[in-house]
Amino acid sequence: MATVRTKTYLDTLLATNGVQGISATDLRDFKDSVMGVYASIYTSGGSTSQTMGTSAAKLTLWASNGEADNASADATNNEIEVGAAGDGDYLVIGQFSFSGAVSTTFTIKAAVNGVEDDAVACERKLGTGGDVGSCSFAGIITLADGDLVSVYVTADAASKSFTLQEGSLTIRRIG
């Protein structure tokens, strides 16, 4: 099993091993460090609603853990945890198909340790009568060991129902 290394360690590894050759172990660790840090949580066929309001609330409608490597997918706690030596830049992707209160605008944002990231967000207004809205975001966030990535939702008024029918949250280290 490979060991995930920090970006600083990988920079040093490549600088020193460029002259003497890279060992099979170092090459495997490099590959897993760059390519092997990811996790996802998702819901499929969701029918449970959550009440949202004008203050951001953590989305708690995740049903299942997706694939993960060197990070922890935790649908039970509605978050993904970055694993050991996982410091780096991550592509954070969220996809949401949802229904809810009519004529309501929902804002959905990625959050790290409970703090929303305005740069990784989407917004959708539901129309009338059984609308299913779709909204997605993607952005790059710098994360560290133990950081918890989750999703927060805000409605444009108090006490608005939100039902995640299909959705996923995925993180993938890219640097």
Instruction: Give me the tens of pLDDT residue by residue for the chain, a chain 175 residues long.
Output: 567 777 677 667 666 655 566 676 776 666 666 666 899 999 999 999 999 999 999 999 999 999 998 899 999 999 999 988 788 899 999 999 999 999 999 999 999 999 999 999 999 999 987 789 999 999 999 999 999 999 999 999 999 999 999 999 999 998 7
Q: What is the CATH number of the domain that holds 41?
A: 2.60.120.40
- Based on the fold, state whether residues 145 and 133 are members of the same structural domain: yes
Close Cβ partners of 150 (under 8 Å, ≥ 6 residues apart): 58, 59, 78, 79, 80, 110, 111, 114, 169
Residue 81 sits in the same domain as residue 30: no
Residue 106 near residue 52, CB atoms below 8 Å = yes
Residues 142 and 74 in one domain: yes
- Buried-exposed string 56-78: b where 16+ CB fall within 10 A, e elsewhere: bbebebbeebbebbbbebbbeeb
Residues 75 and 99 both lie in one domain? yes
Write out the residue range of the structural domain in which residue 97 sits.
37-173
Q: What is the pTM of this model?
A: 0.85
Looking at the structure, do residues 136 and 167 belong to the same domain, yes or no?
A: yes
Separation between Cα atoms, residue 168 and residue 175, nearest integer Å: 22
Residues 61 and 30 in one domain: no
pLDDT at 93: 98
The number of domains in the chain is: 2
What are the residues facing 151 on neighbouring strands?
110
Based on the fold, state whether residues 26 and 63 are members of the same structural domain: no
> In this structure, are 29 and 84 located in the same domain?
no
Are residues 28 and 64 both part of a single domain? no
Same-domain status, 27 and 72: no
pLDDT at 141: 97
84 is written with which tokens? 């050991």
Residues 84, 168 share a domain: yes
Verify that 101 and 59 share a domain, yes or no: yes
